[in-house]
Chains A and B, each alone.
Chain A
Amino acid sequence: MSVIKNFFATRWGIVSAGIFVGVFAPLLQKWGNPGNMGICVACMERDIAGALGLHRAGVVQYIRPEIIGFVLGALIAALLFREFKSRGGSSPIVRFFLGFFAMVGALVFLGCPWRALLRLAGGDGNAILGLAGLTAGIWVGVLFLKSGYTLGRATKVRSFSGWVFPIAMASLLILLLVAPQFGRTAEGTPTGPIFFSSKGPGSQHAPILISLLVGLGVGFLAQRTRLCTMGAIRDVILIKNTHLLSGILGIVGAAFIMNLFLGQFKAGFAGQPLAHTDYLWNFIGMGLSGLAFALAGGCPGRQLFLSGEGDGDAAIFATGMIVGAGFSHNFSMASSAAGPGAYGPIAVIIGLIFCIVVGFTMREKMA
């Protein structure tokens, strides 16, 4: 066990986890997921929000088993390697809104950092703007971290607390399988409370079991190796360390090769799947997300893996993201292929103000 444990902590360990994501994300697309969206934490949480009726954008409603798999895979890894520890209490409400605004920014760009990497590996040039924005946002976050920013200490809490989020995810799986439809429209046709897109990206998905298994695999490996896109960029800026970066290079490299192999690579800016070409808001949207991730200590994927190992604060962040997705669509803040939504830009600016206030006010004099 300790040999395996040590391998995961090495550079090759994290590169392997990255390659796993990079191989299976394009395959999930091949097996039915939307374009360059084999894996996307933000998009998939957005689809879950839609399936639960938190927003009524009919084309993005589906309980994505990958997300459930991420949390449960991390839970299994954490239990197996005795790392499951229920903890929480580090500024939960601030984390909720960091998650909320991280989602607002991600849905202006149309993707989480992982999807930005996958879009790049699929030839989508707009991802370059997103990744540049992500880096800029993280850079600002690092400035706050260097000046003593902290959300305070988490403490050990009762064991059940750490189980709540994984149980909620398992419940989502049941809702996906049972698919209750006891609501009725005015015409009397069954609808909801769980909604499933009949067209658009929400209707495109790999078979449930495959999605779940890949999710479990990613969750397991990422929990072991601490794979984190935000951390990768942050550590290079903050401590000139490339350990986490090698993981995301693994994602891009493997996904690029897989996309070529599967005929899914298409270079260019216009006409890319689930993307728009507004350079400015691709940059600023992801900039907001990057800053929010840096202030919360992890990219959306990482927050899910931490949730699986008992971190209640990360679970609050993830919940904030799902609620944020509901608001993004209900308030016309999410982008579409045509460009940013009517209120996307103003929402991003409000989010940036929130993050900057958090950065300046949540500080401790450095010991």
Chain B
Amino acid sequence: MADKIDARGLSCPQPVILTNKKIKEMGKGVLEVLVDTDTSRENVSRLASEKGWQVDVKRVDEDYRLVLRKE
């Protein structure tokens, strides 16, 4: 079971803050982040890529599920 953050409905920059904190704690592994706006999707993806995490984006209904991976 991957770690999970539900950042839906949170306004910028909270999804980024939560993700940043979590990936710092984890160091590596798989993290799933749920967001509901394109802005949050871009911001979280940008942060994760900069920190060396792979990002996989899937649209789930009206939200986005971002799966972040780092070996």
Contacts and interface: CB of A to CB of B under 8 A. Distances in A.
A29 interface: no
B11 A146 contact: no
Contacts of A297: 11-13
A209 interface: no
Interface stretch (A54-62, A125-133, A147-155): A147-155
Contacts of A313: 11
Instruction: Identify whether the interface residues of B are mostly helix, strand, loop, or mixed.
Output: helix
Among B13, B16, B36, find the residue whose CB has the most chain A CB atoms closer than 10 A: B13
Looking at A239, A241, A313, which has the most chain B CB atoms within 10 Å of its CB? A239
A238 interface: yes
Contacts of B37: 83, 85
A243 B11 contact: no
Interface string A135-169: 00000000001100011111110000000000000
Contacts of B42: 9, 226
A231 B12 contact: yes
B18 A367 contact: yes
A236 to B, nearest CB: 12
A90 interface: yes
A150 B42 CA distance: 20
Interface of A: 9, 81, 83, 85, 87, 90, 145-146, 150-156, 226, 231, 234-235, 238-239, 241, 243, 297-298, 313, 366-367
22 contacts: A85-B36, A87-B36, A145-B13, A146-B17, A150-B10, A150-B14, A151-B11, A152-B9, A153-B8, A153-B9, A154-B9, A154-B11, A226-B42, A231-B12, A231-B13, A234-B13, A235-B13, A238-B13, A238-B16, A239-B16, A297-B11, A298-B12
